[in-house]
Amino acid sequence: MNLPFYDWYRNLVRNPKYRWLIIVGTLVYLFSPIDLLPDMIPLVGQIDDTILLGLLVAEVSSMLTERLKAQKGTTTTTVDGKPTEDAVEVEATTIK
C-alpha cells in the first residue's frame, strides 16, 4: 500500500536537514489544542493524533535500529565472540 502522506513524512524525517524540525513539529501538533480533527469530538478527534504518533514512533525507532546495526557492524568482534582480523591480540598479566 503506497500512501502519499506516509511517504512524504518518512522522507522528511529521514532527511537530516529537516529531521529535528519534523520531530519537534509533530510533538507540538500532538500537544497543541489546534488540530485537523478537534479533540472534543470523541474518537474521531484522536485519529489524527494517533496516526501522527504512530508514524513518529515507527520512523524514529526504525532510524535508531538502523543506527545501532551500523554501529554493531563496526565493532571488532563477531557474533560468536571471536576476534576479527582487525583486532590486535594482547596478553595481559596481573601486577600485584
Task: Report the chain's mean pLDDT, rounded to a whole number.
Answer: 81
Residue 79 lies in a domain: no
Instruction: Determine what percent of the chain is predicted with pLDDT higher than 70.
Output: 81
Q: Is residue 27 part of a domain?
A: yes
Answer whether residue 42 is part of any domain. Answer: yes
pLDDT at site 79? 46
Packing angle, helices 19-31 and 4-14, rounded to 10:
120
83 assigned to some structural domain: no
Residue 37 within any structural domain of the chain: yes
Give the Cβ contact number of residue 26 at 10 Å: 20
Residue 91 lies in a domain: no
**What pTM did the predictor assign?**
0.64
Return contacts of 23-28, CB within 8 angstroms, 24+ apart: 23/56, 23/60, 26/52, 26/53, 26/55, 26/56, 27/56
If one counts the domains in the chain, the total is 1
- On whether residue 56 sits in a domain, the answer given is yes
- Domain ranges, residue 49: 4-73
